[in-house]
Structure 1
Amino acid sequence: MGHSQADKAATRERVLRITSRRIRTDGVSRPGVAELMREAGLTHGGFYKHFDSRDDLIAQAATFALAEGTAKMERSAYKNDQDARAGLIDAYLAKQHRDGPATGCALVTLGAAAGRGDQQFKEAYENQVRTYLDLIASLDDDTEDSQAEAMLTLSAMVGAVLMSRAVADKHFSDQLLETVNDLLARHRSRSASA
């Protein structure tokens, strides 16, 4: 790859990274092309060197945002040597995750948009859900129910973070995260002993 091609790829990735953060905080309909390009240190005219349209940018940024979470989930899981699933749940249901939507899990912030989105957006969202389910299931010793347990765990985590960001009362928000974390741990220990 030549120097200009490498620069173009780096610029494109910078725009995608900025846009992926913005759509996680502001939604997919908010940021305008001129605003995003300015934030990336580029002119509006340079936009079309990298993307066909705003919709193309948003779709690619959503895919980028969704995929970015996989490495974070894996790192979170393997921070706890004793119980990888507990490590993942603790990190996901942390106040820092709740308070950092720009770099947090895109399943939380982009779910509604994916539901209203085109087929490409829905497929990117579904692929990420499936990736997370496979990761969570792989952390379980019990292979018979691991996929169902992964669905329950992921649904509870995504829902808890979504609601904890949406409520006004900070104490109640904290309580949502803590309660879901505790209940997932209890459910897991009951399932393991059964």
Structure 2
Amino acid sequence: MARYGPEHKEATRRRMLETAGRRFKSDGIDGSGIATLVADAGLTNGAFYGHFRSKDDLVASVVAQQLEDQVARVNALPAGVESVVAFLSEYLSPTHRDDSAGGCPSAALLDEIGRCDDATRQSYTDGARSMIEAIARHLDDGDAQLAKERAIGLFTLLVGSLQLARAVTDRDLSAQVLTAAHASALAIVANRTPATSIDQESE
């Protein structure tokens, strides 16, 4: 029987994490059984348990990897607010809204993660903290604490807005949610109060 090297084992594990991540984000964690998950990766149940102790172990690993990949993308952007502005346009787009499987893990899984075991929630906590720090580095203009607060606000706004845009059945309302969220996000990036229709009428 052929024995595979560590590179093959790592590649198999990575494939499992990637396919499971897409499945979780499209069908939900609870809606994805092990049989489907291993079939997506082209594995057998026996191979699955050679990499993960349980489905919960897989979930925690997927959450960690999904956030790690997202943080890496943000960290790879050229330093500065211009990169954040470009990121906002991509994140709050109809294309991202319509691609749960390939999109942000927070927007797709946050409600379920809150009901997961401590290991998964800890994986998410570590990843969310890293994501906030990555955003804050782009927003930092000399006040690190303020940059972190703005990053938390921006991250929260992005995730919640995308969830709402996906949840509503009214496509016009969904588009309005993305547009309004984009304006508010730009205000956070610029460190200013967003103009409202009431403000504009009173000028």
What TM-score comes out, normalization by structure 2 length? 0.83
Q: Which residue of 1 aligns with 2:185?
A: 184
Q: Does 1:169 align with 2:170?
A: yes
Contact in 1 for aligned 2:150/2:188 (Cα 8 Å): no
Kindly provide the CA deviation profile for residues 57-111 of structure 1, in whole angstroms up to 9, marking residues without a partner as x. 2221222222221123345x53x97722212222221222111111211111221
Contact in 2 for aligned 1:69/1:104 (Cα 8 Å): no
Shift of 1:153: 0.9
Q: Which residue of 1 aligns with 2:135?
A: 136
Kindly provide the CA deviation profile for residues 25-58 of structure 1, in whole angstroms up to 9, marking residues without a partner as x. 1111111111121221222232222221222222
Partner SS for 2:166: helix
Paired residue type of 1:29: D
Q: From the superposition, tell whether residues 159 and 82 of structure 1 become closer, same or farther in structure 2 (CA, over 3 Å).
A: closer
- Counterparts of 1:2-151 in structure 2 under 5 Å? 3-75=4-76, 77-78=77-78, 83-140=82-139, 141-143=141-143, 144-151=145-152
Q: From the superposition, tell whether residues 170 and 142 of structure 1 become closer, same or farther in structure 2 (CA, over 3 Å).
A: farther
Paired residue type of 1:71: A
Distance 1:133 1:5 in 2: 33
Partner SS for 1:28: coil
Shift of 1:160: 0.7
Fraction of identical pairs, as percent: 30
Moved more, 127-136 or 2-11: 2-11
Distance 2:112 2:92 in 1: 22
Q: How many residues align?
A: 189
* Structure 2 unpaired stretches of 5+: 194-203
* Structure 1 unpaired stretches of 5+: none
Q: From the superposition, tell whether residues 188 and 51 of structure 1 become closer, same or farther in structure 2 (CA, over 3 Å).
A: closer
